[in-house]
Amino acid sequence: MRLPPLPTIREIIRLYGLRAEKQLSQNFILDLNLTDKIVRQAGNLKGASVCEVGPGPGGLTRSILQHGASDVLVVEKDGRFLPSLELLREASEGKVRIIKDDILKYDMETAFPDIPKQDWNGDIPNIHIIGNLPFNVSTPLIINWLEAVSNQNGPFTYGRSNMLLTFQKEVAERLVARPNDPQRSRLSIMAQYLCKVKLSFTIPGKAFVPPPDVDVGVVHFTPRIDPQIKVPFKLVEKLVRHTFHFRQKHCEKGVMTLFPYDRSDLTQEMFETSEVHPTLRPFNLTMDDFARLSYAYLHICNRIPGIFEYNYR
Ligand code: SAM
């Protein structure tokens, strides 16, 4: 769609006095070539429903509209941006719906009441989640949404909606890191066992206003039909978190913290059943190794009541 002539984002910021708030880690993109480049990574948006998280003054929102989205739900926590978003709502003839809320609390299950729900094994729904969020929000948010992928609820009640989100470059690299990569971490396993994850490109910090101290990675997620580990999310999360407790040590040391001190037999059982080598470092482990460790852990948790709740601290 073609939007009617509008003030530039820089003019919008000046017009509405939208000084970036440091506490909300606000860094805006004013260059619409860059917002177009980001939005292109989401794929074909013709007729799509999009949830944009943290639209701020609306640069990305404009690109989303111009790439053909027919329904753009924007969720913005900071009320100062509402007038500039309202301007976009009018210019787009009502294609923008505005929600003032914290995305960490907003219930996305009811966000697109008119969209038919797709079978998980079927086509990808024409719903996209797009956001350039503050770094302190994007990491807890992706963990929440990965859990929602595994439960097929929240934004994924509609099917395998795709996500395109920005992260601090180092976090983006962790999300896509393969075995033996020094960046391989808890986030790599959690994201990759549930989604196909792609680091589309990185943006230098200086492209934002005001510029953050770090560069930014644009990451695309497509939920997998079949997760690579088939046990409940919380169990994978706990196993992976403990395994990475001691990054540079043998993975056995982290796994040991899942069990009481006097149950080293259970750690031994984990490695024997899974046939994972206990002297590998956590970042050497493949997805298949984590899957076999998860099944061994699930088996122990099912057999010994209360063991999953054990907290070594
Ligand atoms: N998308 C705009 C852009 O690219 O120029 C703004 C990006 S700025 C980094 C992040 C935006 O997210 C800000 O508008 C901020 O107010 C908003 N935000 C921060 N925390 C949020 C939250 N928990 N829920 C919704 N919006 C949030």
pLDDT given for residue 240 in this prediction: 98
**CA proximity to 98, closest of 66, 62, 72:** 72
pLDDT in tens, the chain (313 residues): 788 889 999 999 998 888 888 777 899 999 999 999 999 999 999 999 999 999 999 999 999 999 999 999 999 999 999 999 999 999 999 999 999 999 999 999 989 988 888 899 999 999 999 999 988 899 999 999 999 999 999 999 999 999 999 999 999 999 999 999 999 999 999 999 999 999 999 999 999 999 999 999 999 999 999 999 999 999 999 999 999 999 999 999 999 999 999 999 999 999 999 999 999 999 999 999 999 999 999 999 999 999 999 998 8
Ligand 1 atom having least distance to the Cα of 104: 23
Say if 313 falls within a structural domain: no
Residue 118: burial class (beta carbons within 10 Å; 0-12, 13-18, 19+): middle
Say if 310 falls within a structural domain: no
Q: Is 29 in the pocket of ligand 1 (CB under 6 A)?
A: yes
Q: How many CB atoms lie within 10 A of CB 108?
A: 22
| Same-domain status, 248 and 208 | no
Say if 228 falls within a structural domain: no
The Cα–Cα gap between 33 and 100 comes to 27
| Same-domain status, 155 and 244 | no
Domain boundary among 187, 202, 223: 223
The Cα–Cα gap between 249 and 274 comes to 19
Ligand 1 atom having least distance to the Cα of 103: 24
pLDDT given for residue 308 in this prediction: 98
| Same-domain status, 146 and 258 | no
pLDDT given for residue 44 in this prediction: 96
Q: How many domains does the chain fold into?
A: 2
Q: Is 63 in the pocket of ligand 1 (CB under 6 A)?
A: no
Indicate which CATH number applies to the domain containing 240.
1.10.8.100
Q: Whose CA is nearest to atom 3 of ligand 1?
A: 28
3-class secondary structure, 212: coil
Q: Which domain holds residue 114?
A: 9-223
Q: Which residues contact 229 (CB under 8 A, 6 or more apart)?
A: 193, 236, 287, 290, 291, 294
Total-model pTM: 0.96
Say if 4 falls within a structural domain: no
Whose tokens are 């997760």? That residue is: 227
Amino acid identity of residue 200, one-letter, is S
Say if 70 falls within a structural domain: yes
Are 203 and 34 in contact, with CB atoms under 8 Å apart? Answer: yes
| Same-domain status, 159 and 246 | no
| Same-domain status, 80 and 181 | yes
Would you report the helix, strand and coil content of the chain in percent, each value rounded to 5?
40, 15, 40
| Same-domain status, 193 and 245 | no
| Same-domain status, 171 and 272 | no
54 CA distance to ligand 1 centroid (A)? Answer: 3
